[in-house]
């Protein structure tokens, strides 16, 4: 079974391993190396590093618009192309090349949270369930029929990073099951997605990480969880900008102006919100590391504040 893999970030690496274990990965496609780090040097993607380690040929086209890029893929004669967080939209002319088409591992229970950031948007919205869908790709954005799906519960304090890691491993297991069935010549029945309940998970933007204290505390607590580890929620606190790593919402009535510090102590720093109170438990000053609220207060104790 000849598999072509297409993916870029760390989320896709377990799926690449699953493909390598269940078939011959004849090529790995990934985004071109991008500038990163303080020196802004070109950095290979996690998928590229994993492919090189396994001796898998790597291809990094800017897109699939050129005749040459399509001819290169066609020459590989893939049985199936597996796409996981690749970062490029594939035209129909590419989707038609593999014998069994292109499969996409998507980190949501479709049709909810189609798009670029399904993990973070699910937590931000307060969802208690997520999962992975293996989808037969078509021209639309995450609109293709679902071949396999598996759900899991989102923990009440689970962060975007923690859910990312769990869904990454779950996606590899679901994909492994599907590839095993394909190798055994068992066809997976496609289940068209219902349009009812479809939502779009727009790409994360660093600008939205700034907390608006006029919002309900539950909304802000979900944002803190969703945006950890990136872009990381931030706010002005006691006159300085801090990043907030951990916080919980308190169902507490108050008459204070949103953004006012109500209390501070070992349990956290309580901030008045549009409704309820946000208790900040873990935070980070500029240039520092993440510390508890108690350590933060000890470091900048000022009786006049």
Q: Give the pLDDT confidence score for residue 301 in this predicted structure.
A: 67
CB 24 within 8 A of CB 30: no
Residue 93 in this model has a pLDDT that exceeds 50: yes
Q: What is the mean pLDDT of residues 11-23?
A: 95
145 marked ligand binding residue? no
Residue 237 in this model has a pLDDT that exceeds 70: yes
Contacts of residue 118, Cβ cutoff 8 Å, sequence gap at least 6: 106, 107, 108, 130, 201
109 marked ligand binding residue? yes
111 marked ligand binding residue? yes
Residue 19 in this model has a pLDDT that exceeds 50: yes
Structure tokens at 165: 């890691």
pLDDT tens digits, one per residue of 141-185: 999 999 999 999 999 999 999 999 999 999 999 999 999 999 999
3-state secondary structure (DSSP) of residue 150:
strand
What is the percentage of the chain residues whose pLDDT exceeds 90? 89
Q: Cα-flanking dihedrals φ and ψ of residue 116, to 5°? A: -80, -30
Q: Give the pLDDT confidence score for residue 302 in this predicted structure.
A: 59
Chain-wide mean pLDDT for the chain? 95
110 marked ligand binding residue? yes
Q: Closest Cα to residue 177, out of 136, 144, 152, 149?
A: 149
Confidence of residue 303 (pLDDT cuts 50, 70, 90): very low
pLDDT tens digits, one per residue of 239-258: 899 999 999 999 999 999 99
Q: What is the pTM of this model?
A: 0.94
What are the structural domains of the chain? Answer: 2-201 (3.40.50.170), 206-299 (3.10.25.10)
Residue 38 in this model has a pLDDT that exceeds 80: no
What is the percentage of the chain residues whose pLDDT exceeds 70? 98
């Amino acid at each position: 079974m000849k598999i072509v893999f297409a993916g870029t970030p760390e989320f896709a690496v377990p799926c690449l391993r699953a493909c390598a274990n269940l078939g011959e990965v004849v090529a790995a496609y990934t985004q071109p190396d991008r500038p990163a780090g303080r020196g802004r040097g070109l950095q290979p993607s996690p998928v590229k590093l994993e492919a090189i380690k396994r001796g898998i040929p790597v291809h990094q086209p800017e897109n699939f618009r050129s005749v040459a890029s399509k001819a290169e893929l066609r020459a590989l004669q893939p049985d199936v192309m597996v796409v996981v967080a690749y970062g490029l939209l594939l035209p129909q002319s590419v989707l038609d090349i593999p014998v069994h088409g292109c499969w996409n591992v998507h980190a949501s229970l479709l049709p909810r949270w189609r798009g670029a950031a399904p993990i973070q948007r699910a937590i931000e919205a307060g969802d208690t369930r997520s999962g992975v869908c293996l989808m037969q790709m078509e021209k639309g954005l995450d609109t293709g029929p679902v071949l396999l799906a598996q759900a899991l519960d989102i923990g009440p304090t689970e962060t975007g990073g923690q859910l990312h890691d769990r869904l990454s491993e779950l996606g590899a297991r679901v994909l492994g099951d599907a590839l095993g069935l394909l190798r055994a010549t068992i066809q997976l029945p496609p289940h068209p997605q219902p349009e009812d309940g479809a939502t779009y998970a727009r790409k994360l933007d660093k600008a939205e990480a700034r907390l608006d204290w006029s919002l309900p505390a539950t909304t802000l607590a979900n944002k803190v969880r969703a945006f950890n580890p990136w872009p990381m929620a931030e706010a002005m606190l006691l006159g300085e900008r801090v990043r907030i790593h951990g916080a919980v919402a308190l169902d507490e009535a108050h008459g204070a102006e949103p953004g006012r510090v109500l209390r501070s102590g070992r349990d956290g720093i309580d901030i008045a919100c549009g409704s309820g109170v946000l208790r900040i438990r873990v935070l980070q000053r500029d240039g520092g590391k993440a510390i508890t609220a108690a350590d933060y207060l000890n470091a900048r104790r000022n009786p006049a504040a």
